[in-house]
């Protein structure tokens, strides 16, 4: 059986990456537009006097979009928006009375300014424009800034640019890499700073997001894509091989894992992987990912496969089994779950509904992927009447005494002193 363990990143390489990104972020923070331009020249080999994409360039991208391409983008946009809208509808404000004169609750407030990073290095990814901008728009974010690296022509890929506009971006910038994240976080003369940055990117982008986190919010620190498939003897080996390679072709660091109870299926899948690599256009990348990070693991029972999947906590988890519903209660850690043989990860990559910005590297154990709720802040409130304050004050005073915080004690005691006649009497001043 093929069982290849993915190598761990070398600490020295990670330290070097962090140092490079730290210098870029600091430079953009201090020198702003000048640094942004220089780093775009250095890393993207493009000299842009300004990163701003004007209305005329957006209109040209939209006008040059073939009708069929526009229809596909709008179709995907509307499906993503429909799902995000359903998620938004599941969230509600709260306003309840816990006792006489004691009302508490929360409001749902959208983040005021969000930056959506759309990758564009090796190939255009208009789907990432839709997957990041649309949920922000549905959440009611009043200012959505989107950016993507320049292509060979010196601007954003026209289909990606059109997708940004169709998704609802208010501002669009041609910039990428760590310098783009720094510009969004700290602002420059041309780029207004945002409050939150979302979207996938290469390791420089991820490291820059890590370094600016705290100055701005971020969605997550996503690494190379991952897929894990649990399969039994009923699975189609051709589809299994295709699903594994569909993720492997993303990046040489992509991880593809098959967990199966059928040893013969495992052997056949390995054969089909080799066959499909023979005619896959991105075979070089897919083969490097498969040989470096691919695994086919035979287990005795499906319950064991579920336990291994939970330990892996993959970005994408597919169930190619005869009765997937029996396994769902056993699965506790994944970015997104694809239930049944027809439900390939590829549909989630583009337009099934949920966003494809998902946790990787085992982080699905404690975090979720991007969703409409990311763009909403749950802001609680307290509304007390004099009666309500009087009801809470005695116990609050006692808790303040236990913690040794006399200022807290006094702030609560004063509310008792102002209670109207007939209210709860408090201790006399100096009676502690």
Tens of pLDDT, residues 100-122:
999 999 999 999 999 999 998 66
Angle value at C-alpha 123, between 117 and 128, nearest 5 degrees = 35
DSSP string, 12-61: HHHHHHHHHHHHHHHHHHHHTHHHHHHHHHHHH----S--BPPHHHHHHH
- The mean per-residue pLDDT over the stretch 176-199 comes to 98
Tell me: pLDDT of 2 over 50: no
Question: Is the fold of 226-368 the same as that of 385-432?
Answer: no
The structural domains of the chain, with segments of one domain joined by +, span 11-96+111-219, 226-368, 385-432
Helix axes 177-186 and 33-44, enclosed angle (nearest 10) = 160
Asked if the model's pLDDT at residue 378 lies above 60, the reply is yes
Using alpha carbons only, what angle is made at residue 269 by residues 263 and 275, rounded to the nearest 5 degrees? 150
Q: Which homologous superfamily does the CATH classification assign to the domain defined by 226-368? A: Nitrogenase molybdenum iron protein domain (3.40.50.1980)
- Would you state the pLDDT for residue 356? 93
Torsion-angle region of residue 430: left (phi > 0), alpha (psi -120 to 50) or beta?
left
Q: Is 9 left (phi over 0), alpha (psi -120 to 50) or beta?
A: beta
pLDDT-based confidence at residue 140 (cuts at 50, 70, 90):
very high
% of the chain beyond a pLDDT of 90: 88
Q: What is the pLDDT of residue 427?
A: 38
| pLDDT given at position 5 | 40
- CATH fold, domain 11-96+111-219, is Rossmann fold (3.40.50)
Give the residue numbers marked as catalytic. Answer: 315-316
* pLDDT level of residue 416 (50, 70, 90 thresholds): confident
**What integer pLDDT is reported at residue 425 of this predicted model?**
39
Band (pLDDT 50/70/90 cuts) for residue 12 is low
pLDDT digits (tens, 9 = 90+) for 208-259: 999 999 999 999 999 999 999 999 998 999 999 999 999 999 989 999 999 9
pLDDT at 97 over 50: yes
CA torsion 96-102-105-109 (nearest 10°) is 140
pLDDT digits (tens, 9 = 90+) for 216-227: 999 999 999 999
Does residue 153 carry a pLDDT above 90? Answer: no
Q: pLDDT band for 81, please (50, 70, 90 cuts).
A: very high
Q: Is the pLDDT of residue 421 over 70?
A: no
Burial status of residue 431 (CB atoms within 10 A of its CB: 0-12, 13-18, 19 or more): exposed
The pTM score is 0.90
pLDDT in the model for residue 100:
94
Average pLDDT score, the chain: 92
* 115 alpha carbon, distance to own chain's centre: 12
Q: What is the CATH number of domain 385-432?
A: 1.20.5
């Amino acid at each position: 059986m093929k069982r290849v363990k993915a190598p761990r990143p070398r600490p020295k390489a990670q330290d070097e990456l962090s140092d490079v990104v730290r210098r870029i972020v600091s430079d953009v923070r201090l020198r702003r537009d000048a640094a942004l331009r220089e780093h775009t020249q250095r890393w993207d080999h493009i000299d842009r006097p300004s990163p701003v994409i004007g209305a005329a360039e957006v209109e040209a991208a939209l006008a040059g979009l073939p009708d069929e391409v526009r229809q596909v983008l709008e179709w995907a946009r509307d499906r993503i928006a429909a799902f995000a809208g359903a998620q938004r509808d599941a969230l509600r404000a709260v306003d309840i009375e816990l006792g006489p004169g004691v009302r508490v609750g929360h409001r749902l407030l959208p983040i005021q300014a969000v930056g959506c990073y759309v990758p564009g290095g090796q190939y255009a990814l208009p789907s990432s424009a839709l997957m990041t901008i649309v949920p922000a728009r549905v959440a009611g974010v009043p200012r959505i800034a989107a950016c993507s690296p320049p292509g060979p022509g010196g601007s954003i890929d026209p289909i990606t640019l059109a997708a940004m506009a169709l998704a609802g971006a208010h501002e669009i910038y041609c910039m990428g890499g760590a310098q783009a994240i720094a510009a969004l976080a700290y602002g420059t003369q041309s780029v207004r700073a945002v409050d939150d940055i979302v979207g996938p990117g290469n390791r420089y982008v991820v490291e820059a997001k890590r370094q600016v986190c705290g100055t701005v919010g971020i969605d997550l620190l996503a690494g190379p894509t991952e897929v894990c498939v649990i399969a039994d003897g009923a699975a189609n080996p051709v589809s299994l091989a295709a699903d594994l390679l569909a993720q492997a072709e993303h990046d040489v660091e992509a991880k593809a894992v098959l967990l199966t109870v059928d040893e013969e299926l495992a052997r056949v899948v390995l054969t089909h992987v080799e066959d499909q690599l023979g005619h896959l256009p991105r075979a070089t990348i897919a083969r490097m990912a498969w040989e470096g990070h691919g695994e086919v693991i035979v287990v005795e029972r499906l319950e064991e496969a579920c336990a291994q999947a939970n330990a892996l906590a993959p970005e994408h988890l597919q169930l190619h089994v005869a009765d997937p519903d029996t396994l769902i209660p056993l699965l506790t850690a994944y970015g997104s779950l694809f239930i049944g043989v027809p439900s390939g990860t590829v549909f989630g990559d583009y337009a099934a509904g949920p966003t494809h910005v998902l946790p990787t590297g085992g982080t699905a154990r404690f975090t979720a992927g991007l969703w409409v709720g990311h763009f909403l802040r749950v802001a609680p409130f307290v509304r007390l009447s004099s009666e309500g304050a009087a009801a809470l004050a005695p116990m609050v005073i006692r808790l303040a005494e236990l913690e040794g915080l006399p200022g807290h004690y006094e702030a609560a005691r004063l509310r008792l002193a102002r209670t109207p006649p007939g209210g709860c009497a408090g201790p006399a001043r100096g009676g502690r």
